[in-house]
Structure 1
Amino acid sequence: MWTRPSLPAKLRWQTSPPRRTSRPWSTDSPTSTTELKPSLALESPIFDRLRAHADETETAVLVGCIEQRGGEYHNTPAYITPGGELTPYRKRNLWGSESERLTPGEERVVVDTPAGRTGLLTCYDLNFVHESAAFLDAGVDALFVSGAWPSTHAANWRLLARARALDGVRWVVACGRTGRKEVADARLSEYAGRSLVVRPDGVVAGELAYEPDTLVRTLDTGVLDSQRDIVGVSVSSE
């Protein structure tokens, strides 16, 4: 049984800095699927440093990467607790050409965070109502979402973050990648950024623009309880 903390959670949500790469997830051969570059194993020096940082600063971290696991590659955000424990979520719903290179995950992931029971999603997962409904059944109080949406779809990113807050009566904290990538289709070269925090009533509590920045908001459990009373939503915490 999980017990919700009595104090509100204060989140410091920082967007990732712009990264420029000529060939995201590139391979030595255009038809090769044996090695995607750049990719990371969760047991790697980079993740060791992130876990140590989370432990030393008592800060929770959510970081995304292309994960190398055996002979497979996944789009994986990983939640790291203030104690340095790491829980990965492997993206279940692949978008477009991702399915040519990446393997979809099988399991939904719920972690205990200062915001309560929290479901992890990334990018295209945000589109699927059945994923949101499953998290409602799991009794989550918040969704943490990482995304790399193109700037042409920025309005959809914002709309869907609000929709997932409303249909589950929960907080949604969504971090959007900034910067650009060099691709032939110029419409997809700019990332949307637009990180935001959405209240359980669908109101945007805080929002960033395109540039990397830091957003701090308090996720008050009283706001969550009040909205669930109004809507008549009962959520199990088991």
Structure 2
Amino acid sequence: MSLFRGPSVTVAAAQMRIDPGMREENQARAAELLSTAAEQDADLVCLPASFATGLNFPTLRADATTSDGPVVQFLADQARGLGIHIAAGVLLADGRDVFDAAVLVGPSGEPLGWYRRACVWAGESDHVSPGAPGTAIDTPVGRVGLLVGYDIRFPEAGRQYLLQGVDLIVCVANLFGPYSHPVRSICRARAADNECALVFSSGVGENRFAGMSYLGRSMIVDGLVQDASQDAEADVLAEAAPAERDTVVHAQLHWRQRRKVRDRLPFHGDVRSTWSTTFQGGS
């Protein structure tokens, strides 16, 4: 703990190879990365989207799990055993629907909150159901907002998190590399848009059905950096190489200090008047 900055929180992004449909193998790989992050004193560790199964249309329903199914139980056991918070992507079955979802699990093993990806691209809409904008989750490691994969492309998907004053957005992802060159810049923009830190935890490997590789490039960025004249990369706190497999990057954050910085900036207040007058017809 710093006298001036307050207690710190260490957040970690796990980048891992996801083998389609091989749940036990993927979970074993994830367990090793979670253990590595815990050894680095991480308080919150983030795993990619659909980390246990991948997202493949031919096996979608077979791969999906319920909110109390084996994938969520694995996360609960890991969080409890390691004494950490875990944010992870889960292919979630709910009745006739399948959602590309994220869950935040606390050290007790209990889910603290769920989010279902809101932005579904046209080619998958017959397979994946759209969710709704998320709600911030208050935790001992900060006020957290969740996003999944394709959401990162749309400022609207996370705009409510600025209004809700989150400390951190976690985007669990598994995006196709050939379509994702702008994602690094977009992650930095989403953090700045919402005056918060952002963790982008991304998978690597191949989607054999689509015939494309996944992006990687897991990172942790700081959206409160205002002057980068001495270092153009000052907002990138940690980053994995694009094709690096099974690795963990981490960064230390001080929420008390960061909230003071945010309170001195005009954007959080201005967005309310701007949103009201421009988008909601106010005067």
Q: Given the two structures, how large is their TM-score scaled by the length of structure 1?
A: 0.83
The within-5 A match list for 1:10-49 is: 10-20=10-20, 24-27=56-59, 36-49=61-74
* Stretches of structure 2 lacking an aligned partner (at least 5 in a row): 22-53, 226-234, 270-283
Contact 1:149–1:157 (CA under 8 A) maintained in structure 2: no
One-letter identity of the residue aligned with 1:13: A
CA contact (8 A) 2:168 2:196 kept: yes
CA–CA distance in structure 2, aligned partners of residues 143 and 162 of structure 1 = 11
- Which of 123, 134, 139 does residue 113 from structure 1 map onto? 139
The alignment-based identity, stated in percent, is 24
Which residue number in structure 1 is paired with residue 248 of structure 2?
214
Matched residue SS, 1:37? helix
| Alignment-derived partner of residue 117 in structure 2 | 91
Q: What are the residue-to-residue correspondences of 1:1-238 with 2, within 5 Å?
A: 6-20=6-20, 24-27=56-59, 36-86=61-111, 87-183=113-209, 186=211, 189-201=212-224, 203-209=235-241, 210-211=243-244, 212-221=246-255, 224-225=258-259, 227-229=261-263, 231-234=265-268
In structure 2, distance between residues paired with 1:37 and 1:51: 21
Give the stretch that moved more between structures: 191-200 or 203-212: 203-212
Q: CA RMSD in A?
A: 2.4
Report the Cα offset of residue 65 of structure 1.
Answer: 2.2
* Aligned partners of 1:161 and 1:172 also within 8 Å: yes
Between Structure 1 and Structure 2, how many residues are aligned? 221
SS in 2 for 1:89: strand
Query: Secondary structure of 2:162's match?
Result: helix
AA paired with 1:205? L
Give, in angstroms, the shift of residue 82 of structure 1.
Answer: 1.4
Give the TM-score of the pair, scaled to structure 2: 0.71
Deviations 1:54-102 (A, max 9, x none): 1121111112122111111111111111121212211111123221112
Match of 2:25?
none
Q: Tell me the residue number matched to 1:30.
A: none
